[in-house]
Copies of this chain bind each other. A is one copy, B any other.
């Protein structure tokens, strides 16, 4: 196990009706003037936004609203939010939505404090150091941003779209309100994308070269088994509160780094996927369903034993005499599960195009560096993984 530090100071407020306490928690964390940040009209129509506004009103907290966050949150709205916060003297950002809204809120929080252009932070030219405090009312179980220290944004630059991440411990939300009932109205496709995203947050941590990490291995496997058990329940009955609750908390556990401390993590699949959702504006989870198994196929030989353990402990595969067969059975079980959730498994099903692979590699800016840690992937490795994802029969 590697040395590590871990601190997850976010106050999680979990359960039915908790959004009515949003104002109370904004006040607890010192907010007096709030940017209420959200996505489309569903938060308004469902009455959620109204309940949150009422909770702010009850605490005597004023607010300005900025809706319109799109999936794969876009930089123009973020720059607009930064200006709005500065003009209005906002001291707290409350994100009401899924990972895109929260990531957008985190980016605005950075931008209000940072003197330069936040592109410098996301393109790693400068290190982030401070942010306005952010709170969340989560409506989608997926990204884990409600407890994580990171944010991913699609920057619309003159020469193209760059989906980039930025992280820092101070970026963890002050509080996150998780009411599973709010996720019940999510359509099946988005629900499935969320489950895939959560599983991949675990995969990125599980496939490691760090040895002797039994405790985090066990936690990873437990989160994955939860999703395999609870996922089909919500696909069958979107109103299954209890299954929604288990998936929602699994989503937080998958990405607050409880499952990742003390071990080298990979993250190549996420980065390869970001170019897909950046280019095609597809759902991140759907892109991952295409990329992650291709990555697994490609890197499996690097540590057959780990993939065999994954197959047995997560998917209940039989241990075969040849561990490579066990390993392959695990990846097959993963694909079968994601297919059963209605996920795409290849480029065509995703709406991606094989002929764009050079473009994807270009956006990835992989030349002269590598992606991932489990196996360090160069340009040709990344090309091969995109190709495997394109070719997969589905």
Contacts of A3 in B (CB 8 A): 14-16, 18
Contacts of A18 in B (CB 8 A): 3
The answer for the CA separation of A180 and B1 in the assembled complex, in Å, is 10
Measured between C-beta atoms, what is the minimum distance from A245 to chain B in Å?
4
For A247, the closest partner residue in chain B by CB is B215
Instruction: State which of B8, B13, B180, B215 has its C-beta within 8 Å of the C-beta of A249.
Output: B215
Contacts of A223 in B (CB 8 A): 215, 218-219
Instruction: State which of B213, B258, B262 has its C-beta within 8 Å of the C-beta of A258.
Output: B258
| Chain B CB within 10 Å, residue with most, of A12, A218, A250, A261 | A218
Q: Is the CB of A6 within 8 A of B12?
A: yes
Q: Is the CB of A1 within 8 A of B246?
A: yes
Question: Which residues from 1 to 44 on chain A have a C-beta closer than 8 Å to any C-beta of chain B?
Answer: 1-16, 18
For A2, the closest partner residue in chain B by CB is B15
Contacts of A218 in B (CB 8 A): 222-223, 225-226
Interface status of A237 (Cβ within 8 A of chain B): no
The answer for the CA separation of A8 and B12 in the assembled complex, in Å, is 9
The answer for the CA separation of A175 and B284 in the assembled complex, in Å, is 36
Q: How many copies does the complex hold?
A: 2
Interface status of A214 (Cβ within 8 A of chain B): yes
Question: Which residues from 168 to 221 on chain A have a C-beta closer than 8 Å to any C-beta of chain B?
Answer: 180, 211-216, 218-219, 221
Interface status of A152 (Cβ within 8 A of chain B): no
The answer for the CA separation of A392 and B242 in the assembled complex, in Å, is 40
Contacts of A262 in B (CB 8 A): 14-15, 245, 249
Q: Is the CB of B9 within 8 A of A212?
A: no
Contacts of A230 in B (CB 8 A): 214-215
Contacts of A246 in B (CB 8 A): 1, 212-215
The answer for the CA separation of A15 and B213 in the assembled complex, in Å, is 13
Interface status of A86 (Cβ within 8 A of chain B): no
The answer for the CA separation of A9 and B13 in the assembled complex, in Å, is 14
Q: Is the CB of A14 within 8 A of B249?
A: no
Interface status of A353 (Cβ within 8 A of chain B): no
Measured between C-beta atoms, what is the minimum distance from A219 to chain B in Å?
5
Which A residues are within 8 Å of any B CB, using their own CB? 1-16, 18, 180, 211-216, 218-219, 221-223, 225-226, 229-230, 242-243, 245-246, 249-250, 253, 258, 261-262
Write 29 A-B pairs (CB below 8 A) sorted by A numbering: A1-B14, A1-B246, A1-B249, A3-B18, A4-B15, A5-B11, A5-B14, A6-B11, A6-B12, A7-B9, A7-B10, A8-B8, A8-B9, A9-B9, A14-B262, A212-B245, A212-B246, A214-B226, A214-B229, A215-B222, A215-B230, A215-B246, A218-B225, A219-B222, A221-B222, A222-B222, A249-B262, A253-B258, A258-B258
